[in-house]
Structure 1
Amino acid sequence: MSEKTIKFGLVGAGGIAQAYVQAFGQSEVAELAAIADVRAEAASAMAETAGCRSFRSHQEMIANTELDAVVVCTPPSTHPDICIDLVQQGKHVLCEKPFSITIQSALDMKAAAQEMGVLLTMASKFRYAEDVIRAKSIVESGILGEIVLFENAFTSRVDMSDRWNADPAISGGGVLIDNGTHSVDIMRYFLGPLSEIHVVEGKRTQHLAVEDTVRIFAQSKTGVMGNVDLSWSINKELDYYLRIYGSEGTISVGWKESKYRQSSSQGWVVFGRGYNKVQSFRSQIENFSKAILKQEPLLIAVEDAIASVEAIEAAYRSLDRDHWTPISSFMAESAMAFA
Structure 2
Amino acid sequence: MGWIPCSGNPDGKKKRKSKMKKMEVQESMGDHTKPIPGKLKRNSSTNSIDPSKNGNSDHIAAQTFTFRELATATRNFRTECLLGEGGFGRVYKGRLDSTNQVVAIKQLDRDGLQGNREFLVEVLMLSLLHHPNLVNLIGYCADGDQRLLVYEYMPLGSLEDHLYDVSLGKKRLDWNTRMKIAAGAAKGLEYLHDKANPPVIYRDLKCSNILLGEGYHPKLSDFGLAKLGPVGENTHVSTRVMGTYGYCAPEYAMTGQLTLKSDVYSFGIVLLEIITGRKAIDNSKAAGEQNLVAWAKPLFKDRRKFSQMADPMLQGQYPPRGLYQALAVAAMCVQEQANMRPVIADVVTALTYLASQRYDPNSHSLQSPRLAPPTPTSKRGR
The alignment's TM-score, normalised by the length of structure 1, stands at: 0.28
Larger RCO: 1 or 2 (CA < 8 Å, sep 6+): 1
Q: From the CA coordinates, give the structure whose radius of gyration is larger.
A: 2
Q: Whose strand fraction is larger, Structure 1's or Structure 2's?
A: 1
Relative to the length of structure 2, the TM-score reads: 0.26
